[in-house]
Structure 1
Amino acid sequence: MFAEFGYGILLMGFAAAIYGAIAAVLGVRNRSTALVESARRAMLLTFPLISVSALSLIYLLVNDHYEVSFVYEVTSRSMPTYLKVTAWWGGQAGSLLFWSFLMSAFASAVTLRPWNRDIELLPWVIVVCSLTLAFFLGLVLFYENPFTRYWLIGGEVEAHMFAQRNASLFIPEDGRGLNPLLRHPGMIIHPPMLYLGFVSFVIPYAFAMAALITGRADDRWIRLTRRWTLWAWLFLSFGLVLGGRWAYDVLGWGGYWGWDPVEIAAFMPWLTGTAFLHSVMIQEKRGQLKHWNMVLIILTYSLVIFGTFLTRSGVLSSVHAFAQSAIGPLFFIFIGITFATSIFLLIKRWPELRSETEMKSMLSREALFLFNNLLFISILVVCFWGVMFPLVSELFTGQKVTVGPPFYERATAPLFSTLLFLMGVAPLSAWGRSTWQTLGRSIWKSALAAFIVTIGLFTFYTKNLYALIGFLLIVFVVFISLQEFWRGARARQKNQGENFFTALSRLIARDRRRYGGYIIHVSMALMAIGILGIELFQLETQGTLAQDEDLNIAGYTVVYRELASWDSLGEGVNYTRAVVDVYENGVYLGELNPRIDYYYDSQQNMTIPGNRSTLRDDLYI
């Protein structure tokens, strides 16, 4: 009952999305506000409809309805309830429904805003959002249906949505269970954050296309979508960071980033989205780079769909990717149509998007921001080529040749280093015109402090040239950011007679965009410290130990004590756990317990490393 109900409601949501797109276009052509309003209400209707369908699927997941093929594939009786709920986005069909659910929520939310001043944009925003939503709903309904059930037909079990002739419903005793890699608390938050980031970027793209279609050459569409863009960037950033933490716990990489193809697929729209966040400030402040901003948001939208395509088509091997599926060509066609249409609209409006002022100084803030953008795009090109190279090599040679982390690290390290330097310099440059003298006066104190700290690191910590360059840039960015907070708070303290902390808090509240950017820059610099540690100071060793034998690495001594194996019947898992004592310079620090978990339902292993983490280092076994 719930399967048919959920499918039927989803079909109604699909019809509402299609109707909304058609009604919006007809409303514009016939100048009918009634039709446009009808399209808006159809867009609003999609959210409750898809929500009800999603709740139906969650009910089936939680209550062990294994006659539903999706429930059988991603849950089992031994799984806790929270994992059964998160299994919604743990499989191909469910994740597409989750994508559609978020898309309908955001599209409905954006149509609720007051449209009096921008009424000409409304129908085209509805068209773009409705067509994107309809595409994903179409995939769910006709290709990756999470509501199909198992039927026994002539002694064979087949999956169909509706009963076939001479068929009886087949109900397995238990499900296969979720992939062990996904049975982690990170499963609760990491995929939703990525999806939220992906879907949020559709809204700025929809406004950009509406501006192109209606001929609006001003920056109104940017101002309307500023918060959407910020939230999209934050969600995607959190998703990437949480994914790194998840990988550190369960994938056994010994690091947070393995340059996996699907990781990179999520990273690429982050690159263009970050470039877009910086570039739109130039259009708002100086009326420049209007063409470039359109290109960036088109690229971001296309890369969002492209990343979803890579994950779900099965064309690339990845621990994150789903199995091969027939939806790959459909994604490719959709990307091609939307990208070609976007470029056509951009070319059509190209003359109307001329810059209002000229860039007069290579040291001005807008020039440095543009250089920042070019670096982001350069990193994007490296990532895109690395991801696509296996497909290109297979096309021309018949063999799929992959590129590994060394390729990405060598190609992107100089680009990331230059970006780090610009994080410190660009915000201190003036809009319009700047000189070496004015820029030098702004940065010399921070540069001197960074140089002194680097000398200290050279004397007492490391002689590695690359590490010293990295630390120099990191300290430079941190000092400049802190200097700006200090300078602004001190000025306000003198002018307003406030104490320092009150002045600082009100300073940040008054200009959240500027000082929020500094906070992000400091956060990126702190992340860079961890990246340097992984890339330049990580030590690895391997060995086979008998009981009570030891292994030495970087001042640590690890002693293998014992191995135990037992079944947990309630969880359906066999645990095999080692006990390893850890010493440093003869001092006992404690024990670590690396283990292998074998899940009987999915018949798969998962390795859980033992990890001792301190501010100085991590010992990872």
Structure 2
Amino acid sequence: MSILGRAALLLALAAAVYVVYAALRSRRPGGRAWEASAERAVYAVCAFTTLAVVTMWVALATDAFELRNVAEYTSSTLGWQFKLTALWGSQAGSLLLWAWILTVFSAIVVRTNRDRNRLLMPVVMAVLMGIAIFFLLLLSFVTSPFETLAQVPAEGRGLNPLLQNPYMQIHPPMLYLGFVGLSVPFAFAIAALVTRKVDTAWIASVRRWTIFSWLFLGIGILLGAKWAYETLGWGGYWAWDPVENAAFMPWLVATAFLHSVMVQERRGMLKVWNMVLVILTFTLCLFGTFLTRSGVISSVHAFGESTLGPFFLAFIAVILIASVALLVSRLPLLRSQHTLESYISREAIFLFNNLLLVGLAFAVFWGTVFPIISEALRGERITVGQGYFNQVALPIGIALLVLTGVGPLIAWRKSSPAQLRRRFVGPIVVAAVAAVPLLVLTDLRNSPAAAATIIAGVFVTACITGEFWRGMKVRHALGGVSWPGSLTSMVARNRRRYGGYVVHLGIVLLFIGFAGSKGFVTESDIAVAQGERATVAGYTFVNEGSDRTSDDHSSIVSVTMGVYRGGERIGTMTPGVETFAADGTRSSDIAIDTSPRRDIYLFLTRLEDNGLARVSVYVNPLVAWIWVAGVLMFAGGLLAAWPARALPGYQDATTRSEGAAPA
């Protein structure tokens, strides 16, 4: 298996090098044959990388402990589903997954563009395969997933218990789909600069790629938050960990790009800015990959000590310098066709939105790298705590939330005072009415930001709901269309717009979940012997007994807690701790009781021999809406990216201008 896997990677590397040569050669006159050859070679790269991945999966599934990656990340007693996901439990395996997804996406790009973007595709292939060459070089000569051991162990170490979780089976691949998918817009942007075709054609070609990549990256972040919430036992889901930030930063900049491209499409503005955003987004994806594999940061998500850091830094520097130099050389071609006519216009709102998103990304970047910089310059690592990130992110987040509602209601170019009154009086009144019970029922001195976030969320919901209502009224007024039919027809005819609105509603729920769980949380540590009770936030917890079990694999201790409110029993919760025999690793079995209004979260910190249970109790209001928001954002993203039915006689803009490629 080692020989087969290594050979597959070397063949993939050779084919990728050939793609770059053939693709660039095809840009000369009469080079169509070279381009066709490069396209076939892309498929070959995909096939060889797929063979390497399949070989690695077979090795993991069959306990081929002669391979270091198999011996260190699986065992014969590990379930088959975790054996397969152990592929991305190791550093080399995760890089193999990165390269595989990239080559699959490259093959899809070639296939879907066989009749369009003929001027762009040679450079697109060269860029994508250039990125693939970097990863294939690492896999072939620096950190091979097919490295063998001098002595074959009788048993493997097994997978880290923290990773033996359903969310960790899905979370890393989703992040990789986002990271790798964002290389496609980058490749098209570079191709547009190289070929001087900097109109909106390249944007139209990558819109769905960007939406899907942004969507997968966002869902991957939420799945990671869900894993942390249910596994790590600290009652939270986001700690501004460096690796969390590494995924969050490109997501923020990609969000800015998705909004600003609408300004370029509609008004011919922000052309340079959009190129900068694409380059920055992909660079941050590489930077995030560097953080987790360089060993320069300490994180529960990182791969520990590594020698890959210098390779990634060099590659990032090459990408950044080459991209910026190319962009500067094409600045005369990127002049805006129009100027900003009014600060009260949709393009101005999108610009403010972009500045806030990029500003937040920079603040997160600075807080993430500052400890590294301080250690390099002063020999002392200065830790940046959650307080810094919360202080910066809170006002920017609320401002972004408000703009989410304001943007769709403001006209392009310029809005009159009368238009503003018609659009915003209703949402402002709704938000003011909603603020009354919030002011009465909560102590705003302890959580003013949370209350402001919820009020802003109500305002945005009213704005978006109003947009749906106005559209339905227009459709219904045409006659012969029911109200549900009006909604369906309206959304079907403009999926991108209304899919975006659904995503915005998901963002609102996300913020409301953040506000409730951060602003109104109650936490307490209790110690109760069997039969005793303790009360936290109006809930009474009764220790109804403990249990201890063990086998050759692990030992488990747990305590049964009866939960009461107002004298009525509302549930039974059983937090516990599992200790694994192999290395003494402890894994917490968190007990969570979820409702739309709150989560009750129990974490067993210690169970004494006399039955005294020490338990951390968290009552987290509204946290369930964070996960509902993820579902809504996923649905809205799919709706926005779903292809619309082509109209008769329609042709792609690039195809129209260049003609279809020869068969």
Q: Amino acid of the residue matched to residue 194 of structure 1?
A: L
Cα distance in 2, alignment partners of residues 31 and 597 from structure 1: 67
The SS at the match of 2:523 is: coil
C-alpha distance after superposition, 1:417-469 (max 9, x if no partner): 00011011111111111133312211111110111011122224454433332
More displaced stretch, 557-566 vs 196-205:
557-566
Q: For residue 449 of structure 1, what is the aligned residue in structure 2?
A: 430
Indicate the residue corresponding to 2:35 in structure 1. 36
Return the alpha-carbon distance in structure 1 between the equivalents of residues 475 and 570 of structure 2: 49
Counterpart in the other structure of 1:583: 564
The residue identity in structure 2 corresponding to 1:341 is: A
Tell me what 2:141 maps to: 142
| Matched residue, 1:48 | 47
Distance 1:615 1:493 in 2: 34
User: Shift in Å at residue 29 of structure 1?
Assistant: 4.5
2:497 matches 1:514: yes
Deviations 1:293-312 (A, max 9, x none): 00000000000000011011
Regions of 4+ moved over 4 Å: none
> Secondary structure in 2 aligned to 1:577?
strand
8 Å CA contact retained: 1:177, 1:602:
no
Aligned to 1:7: 6
State the TM-score, normalized to the length of structure 2: 0.89
Matches within 5 A, 1:90-129: 90-129=89-128
363, 369, 372: which one aligns with 1:391: 372
TM-aligned CA distance change 1:496 to 1:253, over 3 Å: farther
Per-residue CA distance 1:494-525 (angstroms, 9 max, x = gap): 11420000110110010011111110111110
Q: 1:46 to 1:603 in 2, by over 3 A?
A: farther
Distance in 2 (CA, whole Å) between partners of 1:30 and 1:388 is 47
- Does the 8 Å CA contact 1:462/1:468 hold for their aligned counterparts? no
Match of 2:633 in 1: none
Structure 1 stretches of 5 or more lacking a match? 152-169
1:229–1:277 Cα contact (<8 Å) kept: yes
Match of 1:72 in 2: 71
Aligned residues: 600
Question: Pick from 522, 536, 541: which aligns with 1:553?
Answer: 536
- Residue of 476, 481, 486 corresponding to 1:503: 486
Q: Measure how far apart 1:602 and its partner are.
A: 4.8
Query: Which amino acid letter does the alignment assign opposite residue 130 of structure 1?
Result: M
2:512 aligned residue (529, 537, 540)? 529
- Determine the C-alpha separation between the residues in 2 that align with 1:567 and 1:589: 30
Indicate conservation of the 8 Å contact 1:178/1:602, yes or no. Answer: no
In 1, Cα distance between the equivalents of 2:267 and 2:138? Answer: 43
Q: Which residue, out of 207, 210, 229, partners 1:229?
A: 210
Alpha-carbon distance in 2 for matches of 1:393, 1:340: 25
- Cα separation, partners in 2 of 1:71 and 1:117, compared to 1, 3 Å: closer
Letter in 1 for 2:339: E
The amino acid across from 1:65 in the alignment is: A
Task: Give the CA deviation at 1:49.
Answer: 1.0
Aligned partner of 1:482 in structure 2 is 465
Q: For residue 292 of structure 2, give the secondary structure of its aligned residue in structure 1.
A: helix
Separation (CA, whole Å) in 1 of partners of 2:281 and 2:490: 33
Deviation track 1:315-335 (CA, whole Å, cap 9, x = no partner) reads 100000001111111000000
Deviation at residue 562 of structure 1 after TM alignment: 2.9
- The answer on whether the counterparts of 2:168 and 2:224 sit within 8 Å (CA) in structure 1 is no
Paired amino acid for 2:524: T
More contact order relative to length (CA 8 Å, sep ≥ 6): 2
Alpha-carbon displacement from aligned partner over 1:517-557 (angstroms, at most 9, x marks no partner): 11011111011111001211111112333333333210112
Is the 8 Å Cα contact of residues 175 and 601 (structure 1) preserved in structure 2?
no
User: Map of 1:315-394 to 2, 5 A cutoff?
Assistant: 315-394=296-375
1:551, 1:557 within 8 Å by CA — same for their partners in 2?
A: yes
Residue type matched to 2:170 in 1? Answer: I
Compare 190-199 and 597-606 and name the one that shifted more.
597-606
Is this contact kept in 2: 1:76–1:601, CA < 8 A?
no
One-letter identity of the residue aligned with 1:516:
G
Shift, 1:577, TM fit: 1.4
Give the whole-Å Cα distance in 2 for the aligned partners of 1:243 and 1:348. 40
- Of 535, 542, 545, the residue aligned with 2:525 is 542
> Which residue of the partner structure matches residue 592 of structure 2?
611
Question: What do residues 389-409 of structure 1 show as CA deviations (whole Å, max 9, x unaligned)?
Answer: 110111122111211211111
SS of residue in 1 equivalent to 2:149: strand
User: How far did 1:235 drift?
Assistant: 0.7
Partner deviation per Cα, 1:364-412 (whole Å, 9 max, x = no partner): 1001000000000111011001100110111122111211211111111
After superposing the two structures, state which structure 1 stretch, 576-585 or 120-129, moved more: 576-585
Q: TM-score, normalised by structure 1?
A: 0.94
Structure 2 residue 221 is the aligned partner of structure 1 residue 240:
yes
The one-letter code of the counterpart of 2:402 is: F
How far off is 1:241 after superposition? 1.2
1:180-199 matched pairs, under 5 angstroms: 180-199=161-180
- Distance in 1 between residues matched to 2:591 and 2:118, nearest whole Å: 58
The answer (yes or no) to whether the contact 2:175–2:216 under 8 Å persists in 1 is yes
1:283-322 aligned at under 5 Å gives the runs: 283-322=264-303
- Does structure 1 retain, via aligned residues, the 8 Å contact 2:450–2:518? no
Q: What RMSD over aligned residues (CA atoms) do the two structures have, in Å?
A: 1.4
1:568 touches 1:575 (CA, 8 Å); kept in 2? no
CA drift of 1:589 comes to 2.2
Q: Deviations over 1:110-164 (max 9, x none)?
A: 011244442121111011100101111111111111111111xxxxxxxxxxxxx
Work out which of the residue numbers 414, 424, 438 in structure 2 matches 1:433. 414
Instruction: Indicate the residue corresponding to 1:277 in structure 2.
Output: 258
2:527 aligned counterpart, secondary structure: coil
Three-state SS of the structure 2 residue aligned to 1:498 is coil
Please give the secondary structure, in 2, of the residue aligned with 1:98: helix
**CA contact 1:25–1:123 (8 Å) conserved in 2:** yes
Task: Show the counterpart of 1:467.
Answer: 450
Contact 2:451 2:515 in 1 (8 A): no
Q: Report deviation, 1:603.
A: 3.6
CA distance in 1, matches of 2:230, 2:30: 57
Contact 2:120 2:192 in 1 (8 A): yes
Identity across the alignment (%): 41
